[in-house]
Amino acid sequence: MTLPRLTIHTAFLLILLGGSSVPASGHPHPGTQVAEPRVPAAAEVRTDGPASASSARRQPVALSPGDPGALPADTLQPAACGAAQPAPHADSASPAPAPDSLSLASSSDPVAARPNFFRRFIAYFADANKNKQRKKFDFSIIGGPHYSDDTKLGLGIVAAGLYNIKGDTLIPPSNVSLFGDVTTSGFYLLGIRGNNLFPGDRFRLNYTLYFYSFPGYIWGVGYDAGNVESNATRFTRKQNQFKVDFLIRLARNTYIGPTASFDLIIGKNFHRPEVLRGAAERTINGGFGASFVYDSRDVLTNAYRGAYVKLEQKFYPGFASSRYSFMRTELQADVYKRVWKDCILAVDLYSMLNYGGDVPWTLMSTLGGSSRMRGYYDGQFRDEKSITLQAELRQRVWRRIGVAAWVGAGNVFPSFRRFNWSHTLPNYGIGARWEFKRRVNVRLDYGFGKKGHSAFMFNINEAF
């Protein structure tokens, strides 16, 4: 079950910020492997001329510890939140700041004036995707109002962080995201998810924890039930989920390890309870199993090349899952390849198979959401098994701005013997991308499906 989708209108403001006069950090083109740029020491900053007496009088704007982008005084970083970069003293042989610096100091003022809120806001996002190898934890926040047919008017916020444990920059960075949302429809959400890579990439810890309450709809079980719009029944879903994977490296790019999950799901206020066919409205489900992973992606949050394959086998015993006992197999296979300059082709195959017992409606396979079959209402089509396939082109257009387009298809079915090709649902859409942090995109997608199904989605990180 994926989280309800969000639609944010202020995302267009963020797209426009990609055209800021501050040059984006030089990161490699898709499919190109280059060394990370080194941040120069203060005396190594290049200029177009010698230091002048007036420039020598410039002083850095002091940031209080609570200000975004506040750094130790002896650390040289690109100007954050509109702060001026430190200038050399008059008796120093160091050159003056480069003309394209964000320095706001006047050559005639002994102390630079503190920039206003708007300039600090612009500089904050202009600096968000700069390479910050010298920062132990690179953390930024984004948020704003949004509207969708599902959740109505709301306010959402996402905070994203990148870090390397013990400074190991030879492996992809670990990542963590905190997310929250509240809307006028009564929907609220709070959660955290991340991927923690230990030094040398010998171990990995992947985790997700969230809680949400969502006044939504359920159509029943099976393709035929979801295909009839009048079957929609309003109810309130409250869900708590915790999921963790611990992976141990067996060989290069190859991992294996235990996995566990816990779900407490409560359905309330069903307008037509008969849609559940006598199933329990409240379920507690604990699952345990193992995962096998092959991962050669260059970056976990926005891969330019490589492959990702995950095969997970999980058991839901009756003593840990209310009165339900069953098994689940999940397969995800993704491939990323550069097709031309700054363009990546990403392909995703996903399947969830529940079998071997009584599967609760709360944990059945569903189509829709913000990652797969984008544009369909998540849960309108549900059954014991599902399979989806999608291919997406991701093209960088200018600096931090990009676009995407995808096509896909999906099917839900009770068993392989009852699989029906005519029940396959089409999916396609377009999207805009803005590089919020280095190799971390904010995406605004508009997905389409069968019989007028469509939806806007706002999220952080690529769909897969």
Give the position of tokens 């089409």: 426
Spans of the chain below 50 pLDDT: 5-108, 110-111
Under a CB-based contact definition with an 8 Å cutoff, are residues 46 and 83 in contact?
A: no
Which among 2, 4, 9, 5 has a CA at the least distance from the CA of 432? 9
Res 36: pLDDT: 39
Burial (CB count within 10 angstroms: exposed 0-12, middle 13-18, buried 19+), residue 17: buried
Res 214: pLDDT: 92
In three-state form (DSSP H/G/I as H, E/B as E, the rest C), the secondary structure along 389-415 is EEEEEEEEEECCEEEEEEEEEEEEECC
Q: How far is CA 142 from CA 13, 71, 117, in A?
A: 11, 20, 16
- Answer yes or no: CATH 2.40.30.210 is held by domain 11-29+131-460: no
Under a CB-based contact definition with an 8 Å cutoff, are residues 42 and 76 in contact?
A: yes
Which among 80, 76, 87, 84 has a CA at the least distance from the CA of 112? 84
DSSP notation for 258-300: EEEEEEEEEEE--SSGGGGTT--SEEEEEEEEEEEEEE--S-S
The angle subtended at Cα 296 by Cα 292 and Cα 298, nearest 5°, is 135
Predicted TM-score (pTM) of the model is: 0.72
Under a CB-based contact definition with an 8 Å cutoff, are residues 214 and 236 in contact?
A: yes
The angle subtended at Cα 453 by Cα 452 and Cα 454, nearest 5°, is 110
Res 54: pLDDT: 38
The angle subtended at Cα 87 by Cα 81 and Cα 137, nearest 5°, is 40
| Alpha carbons within 13 A on the beta-carbon side of 251 | 2
Burial (CB count within 10 angstroms: exposed 0-12, middle 13-18, buried 19+), residue 463: buried
Res 14: pLDDT: 40
Res 95: pLDDT: 45
Tens of pLDDT, residues 14-23:
433 443 333 3
Res 112: pLDDT: 55
β pairing state of 454-460 and 440-448 = antiparallel
Res 93: pLDDT: 41
